[in-house]
Amino acid sequence: MNNEEIKQFILDHVAEAECMEGSQFLQVTIPAEKILSLASELKANPNTSFDYLFCLTAVDRPDHMEVVYHLKSTTHNHQFVLKAKINTRENPEIETVCHIWRTAELHEREAYDLFGIKFLNHPDLRRLLLTDDWEGWPMRKDYDDPINMIAY
C-alpha cells in the first residue's frame, strides 16, 4: 500500500483523522479514544498488517498530549506514523496497545513514567526508570526540578 491507500484506509475507519504528508512518513492524527479499534484493525487486516511497532513515544504539546506510534509492516514493507491526540494535559488517559504489539508494554511504562500518561488496561503500569516515590513527570515541558537544574 502506498501512502494514499493507507490514508484512505484510515479515513474509512476513523472519519475525523487528520492526515499530513510529512517530509518522510505519512502522519495521521486521530483522537485518543479511537486508538484501540484502529490499532487492532491495522494489525489484523491482511491489507495493512502493521505488525511491527518500532517506536512508541509521547510528546507534550502546550495544550494537549500526543502518543506517537511508528508502525511498519514486515510483509508489505510500508510504514507510517500514527499520532493519538489526548485533549487534556491533566490526567491524560489512553487505551493500551500492549496486547497488540507486545513491545508496547515497556514503551508505555516509559511514557507513563516520564509524561504521566495513563495507559488504561495496561497489565503492569508502574514507574520504569525513576524510583517509585518520584513526584511529577519529568519530560513534561512545565516540569521544574530546582535541585537538578539543567543549565543552558
Tell which one of 26, 36, 39, 60 touches another protein (CB under 8 A). Answer: 60
Q: Please choose, from the candidates 95, 32, 35, the residue with its C-alpha nearest in 3D space to the C-alpha of residue 66.
A: 32
The C-alpha cell of 82 is what?
500514527
Residue 2 touching another protein (CB under 8 A): no
φ and ψ at residue 81, rounded to 5 degrees: -110, 125
Tell which one of 5, 55, 120, 136 touches another protein (CB under 8 A). Answer: 55
The Cα–Cα gap between 62 and 72 comes to: 29
Pairing state of beta strands 79-86 and 65-72? antiparallel
Tell which one of 105, 112, 117, 122 touches another protein (CB under 8 A). Answer: 105
**Chain residues in the site for another protein (CB under 8 A):** 22-25, 27, 51-55, 57, 59-60, 68, 70, 74, 77, 81, 101-103, 105-107, 110, 114, 127-131, 138-139, 150, 152
